Amino acid sequence: MADTTTAPSARRTELLELAYSYVRRNGLTDLSLRPLAAEIGSSPRVLLFLFGSKDGLVRALLARAREEELALMRRLREETPRPSGLSAAGERIWSWLSDPAHRTLLVLWLEAYAHSLVDPTGPWSEFAATTVTDWLDVLADAQPESERDTPGGVARRTAALAVLRGALIDLLATGDRPRTTAAVHQHLHA
């Protein structure tokens, strides 16, 4: 089993990036170590050594995907001028979510989110709940401080997140960016 208390080796980091690219193209559902290893120039034994188990590899892949999500959140928090209000934050988030360049990441996110709900003890344990909390925190940052911790403020950002997430799922299913964007904008400015 790989030692997770030390810094990852260069080879582990390299294989993680290659595996991440592979699962963005192929998904996690039917992930098998043998085809993955062949595709990325490794072997199942090396992957097991470096990640401890297939579940360990999946956890590392989900952590890698989360890094991208958290990088977006950091950018939103550090923007100048910072998004003010749920409408502005929601528009910036939707712009990123609906960008075709992020499709493979978001399909992977949705797959992991669903797995987290169906198999809460698997390597994706807590993935969905953590994602909800992360996004609600970003939306809370955009709310006026006087509203942020009120029941109404919590409800408004929860509704905004639900619309963004629902529109994203619809966009991924249909590819209809104009329709889903119009729906998001209508909600954000209602």
In a domain, 27, yes or no: no
In a domain, 28, yes or no: no
In a domain, 44, yes or no: no
Residue 86 pLDDT > 80: yes
Query: Which pLDDT score, from 0 to 100, does residue 67 have?
Result: 87
In a domain, 40, yes or no: no
Query: Which pLDDT score, from 0 to 100, does residue 73 have?
Result: 77
In a domain, 134, yes or no: yes
pLDDT, tens only, 30-68:
899 999 999 999 999 999 999 999 999 999 999 898 888
Query: Which pLDDT score, from 0 to 100, does residue 66 have?
Result: 85
Task: Compute the half-sphere exposure of residue 120: CA atoms within 13 Å on the CB side of its CA.
Answer: 5
Query: Which pLDDT score, from 0 to 100, does residue 6 have?
Result: 57
Residue 136 sits in which domain range?
62-188
**Helix (H) or strand (E) segment spanning residue 31:** none
In a domain, 158, yes or no: yes
Q: What is the pTM of this model?
A: 0.82
In a domain, 125, yes or no: yes
pLDDT, tens only, 108-134:
999 999 999 998 888 888 899 999 999
Distance CA 9, CA 150 (A): 46
| Number of domains forming the structure of the chain | 1
Q: Is 28 in a helix, a strand, or coil?
A: coil
Cis peptide leading into residue 81 (ω within 30°): yes
pLDDT, tens only, 133-160:
999 998 998 899 999 999 999 999 999 9
DSSP letter for 7, please: P
Q: Which amino acid is at 73?
A: M
In a domain, 79, yes or no: yes
Query: Which pLDDT score, from 0 to 100, does residue 7 have?
Result: 66
Q: Which of 22, 51, 53 is nearest to 39 (CA)?
A: 22
The three-point CA angle 100-103-104 to 5° equals 140
Q: Which amino acid is at 96?
A: W
Distance CA 98, CA 93 (A): 9
